[in-house]
Amino acid sequence: MSAPSTASLREHLRVLQLYTEAIAGRRMELRSTEELPDVSSALRRDLPTSSASCVFLPAEVSDFDSARDNFIVYKISILHQLGFWECGTFHFELERWHRKHESQAGEGGSSASPEELSESDLALFFAAFDRPELARKIFSILEDTRIDAALGRRYRGVRKDLARLQSASRALRPDIATLGPIQRLLEILLQLSLGAEPEVFVARLEPGQLQHLGEALSEMRRPGADVYTTATATVRLNSVWQDPSVAKDLRVTLQGATDLEDSETISVAVDGGEGDAEGAGSPPISGDEPEGTEPVPYRGELKPELIQKELRLAELTKDLEKLREGGIPLPPEILRELLEKGLIEITGVEEADLDSTSGLTLSDLPDGAKAAAVSDKRAELEDRVRSLGRELEEELGELRPLRNEYYYDEWDHELNAYRRAWCRLGETTLEEADVTELEDARRSQARLFAEVRRQFELLRPDTLRKIKGLTDGEDVDLDAAVEAWSDLRAGLAPSDKLYTHRDRRERNVAAAFLLDMSASTDSEIPDPEEEQSADELPKYDYVGVYDDDPFWTRSDLTPTAKRRRVIDVEKEALLLMAEALDTLGDAYAIYGFSGYGRENVDFFVAKDFNETYDRRTLGRMAAIEPKRSTRMGPAIRHAATKLDKQDARIKVLLILSDGYPQDFDYGRDRTSREYGINDTMMALREAELRGVHTFCITVDPAGHDYLRQMCSERSYLVIDDIAALPKELPKVYRGLTT
């Protein structure tokens, strides 16, 4: 139990989410650091951090003696993380930084496009240093200082709270006497960034060092400072600390990062002023000395170069989509190749001036050139997307949340109104599990599987569609013939596409199977060959992880050797449908749902619409297991939203369940079913209004009692014998889609 003074993210999530979106001006997810995958030994779950789409905060804050003050820590932490977006940290471009200093750079020359070497210019920048991690640490402290100063100017109402938080953070800093030379410099830089008085450190620094630190921080606090100011100050401090003789011209070679010739460098001229001579005593960095300092809690930790890669991956993915639509501008190199092959002609433009044709898109090209351009460009983009995706999977795993989160309204029949954004639903892709049991089920029911596949192969619609605009066909298109005759009379060349042909119409169906994964599906199915007394039937009680968790769960979850459960039969039915639909060619998805409370609705993906049925899908289906409660409303709304995005003539949502909707906070009265039943009824109506046909199948013998209230008479089925589900489900599907 949390102390009364502790602020809980779960308790304040809705308010902080609104605060986040108000500051960001867009949808920015707010999540707990507990949701971060444990993929790194250095992962800190007590510090805020960010990815390109969300802000992560600790589950609890107890830095101060009052809950209000700890709530303010959340607000300042969010503001600081969003400050990187507001102040342009992720917009850093190496070329632009180079151009800003060309007048001082001597023989800087031009650098290659960063896209040729990395998808993040900040990664290139850090890699150019002898010790990239030290450069990243200097950059982070300076950038944190710039962000805090900018936020204080933009949001005057937080100045007092920010100053108090900085003062409290200073009090927690380590004793610099225990640190090595470089850690000491970093720690002093950090404490100065938090408002410490410079005089405190005079005895701890060599002559001139304090001046360099103070000047760098003063630059960060100027109103005109930007991320390029931070980069230049990083170069200056890194050079001063590594070179015992402080030169007036510090040169930073970026050969590896920018593909320059051996003689070319990017350099920054630094005027150290009168204090430079005194700085000669600065100690060089020891190669064996560990780098870094303890992060400031409210500032957290951030890897801006990785967020740049996330943003770049999103851009490349959009370019790939535009390419498929024919709307992406063609780069000069592709145009040159098409010119050389004689596939296009561009009049009035010299080959050397092809940059001026950047407005040309695929849709502007003739068919022959379009095919060549699409092939080359698509291969390039797909390769870059795959490569960057793998790189992010390795580098950014700790910043990728376990699930995507969505907020849905919920219908309160007592208020006769919706509770806005009342439920938080987390979508998770199931991890693959052992498929032995599913393969055994397929072998044991091979005859049923073969029969269902045969029936589905016969599901071919008789409707024929007329295809027009053909040069040859079974009939003449009268409209095209009249138009051709008119063109001929007018002296124009008539079209020869005058014929039509009737072709069989393809099925155009998208179906989503939504499986109830509540704890009650763990119940054992009686063996029909054995009679069981009432004392032998499975017993349930209110046993839960939480003190007030009244969802059904087994008292004894120890599996027996041949135990067959409700969930096992449901998985067999879904396996049967997956194999049949894969033969038929209908688009389909397999989802599951459970959860605990309105803020923890779980939505599991075994197969999505854009995925193929393969060994991986089979492994996810095998991972479907009983979880917690049965909050149906948000799960139905989320599945309907996914279906709504499918381009299909017939859209079907089939819900498989073994009981009525229930959750510990599904209404004010825990003993009443009415709240959950009414919310589920409204969710089903909402889906129907979106053009999604819904159908509920339950194996609960008492299902008629509540399904007739939730659904229309023809939109549900109660199966008394759970073992019959694999046979009944294909019949229901055929009836809904033909």
Quickly list DSSP for 321-358: HHHHHT-SBPPHHHHHHHHHTTS---TT--GGGGGGGT
Q: Is the pLDDT of residue 568 over 70?
A: yes
* pLDDT value of residue 692: 95
% of residues, the chain, pLDDT over 90: 30
Q: How far apart are CA 696 and CA 708, in angstroms?
A: 11
What are the start-end ranges of the E strands in 344-416?
404-412
Average of per-residue pLDDT across 316-329: 57
* pLDDT value of residue 164: 94
Average of per-residue pLDDT across 611-639: 92
The region of weakest confidence among 10-19, 134-143, 275-284, 581-590 is 275-284
Q: Is the pLDDT of residue 142 over 60?
A: yes
3-state secondary structure of 238: helix
Which run of H or E residues covers position 696? Answer: strand 693-698
**Do residues 577 and 621 lie in contact, with contact meaning Cβ atoms separated by under 8 Å?**
no
| Residue 555: pLDDT band with limits 50, 70, 90 | very low
* pLDDT value of residue 306: 79
- What does each C-alpha distance from 313 to 120, 329, 384 come to in angstroms? 10, 18, 8
Residue of higher predicted confidence among 477 and 346: 477
Q: Number of C-alpha atoms within 13 angstroms, CB side, residue 349?
A: 16
The region of weakest confidence among 537-546, 585-594, 680-689, 712-721 is 537-546
* pLDDT value of residue 271: 39
Instruction: Quote the DSSP letter at residue 699.
Output: -
% of residues, the chain, pLDDT over 70: 70
513, β-bridge pairs: 590, 654
* pLDDT value of residue 264: 36
Residues 6+ apart with CB under 8 A from 641: none
| Residue 107: pLDDT band with limits 50, 70, 90 | very low
* pLDDT value of residue 45: 78
Q: Is the pLDDT of residue 556 over 50?
A: no
Model pLDDT for residues 667-711, shown as the tens digit of each residue: 877 778 899 999 999 999 999 999 999 999 998 888 888 898 898
Indicate whether this model's pTM tops 0.85.
Answer: no
Q: Is the pLDDT of residue 77 over 90?
A: yes
* pLDDT value of residue 336: 56
Q: Is the pLDDT of residue 195 over 70?
A: yes
* pLDDT value of residue 473: 74
The region of weakest confidence among 499-508, 514-523, 651-660 is 499-508
636-663 exposure pattern, b = at least 16 Cβ within 10 A, e = fewer? bbbbbebbeebebebbbbbbbbbbbbbb
Q: Helix/strand/coil (H, E, C) string of 564-618?
A: CEHHHHHHHHHHHHHHHHHHHCCEEEEEEEEECCCCCEEEEEEECCCCCCCHHHH
Question: How is residue 630 written in tokens?
Answer: 């049965």
* pLDDT value of residue 599: 84
**Among 97-106, 399-408, 510-519, 698-707, the range of highest mean pLDDT:** 510-519
Give the count of beta carbons closer than 10 Å to the beta carbon of residue 668.
9
227-242 and 209-220 helices, crossing angle to 10°: 170
Residue of higher predicted confidence among 442 and 353: 442
Model pLDDT for residues 146-180, shown as the tens digit of each residue: 999 999 999 999 999 999 999 999 999 988 888 88
Give the count of beta carbons closer than 10 Å to the beta carbon of residue 366.
11
Residue of higher predicted confidence among 619 and 502: 619
Model pLDDT for residues 417-440, shown as the tens digit of each residue: 999 888 989 888 888 888 999 999
| Residue 318: pLDDT band with limits 50, 70, 90 | low
Q: Is the pLDDT of residue 294 over 60?
A: yes
Model pLDDT for residues 374-387, shown as the tens digit of each residue: 555 566 666 666 66
* pLDDT value of residue 110: 35
Q: How far apart are CA 639 and CA 589, in angstroms?
A: 9
* Mean pLDDT score across all residues of the chain: 76
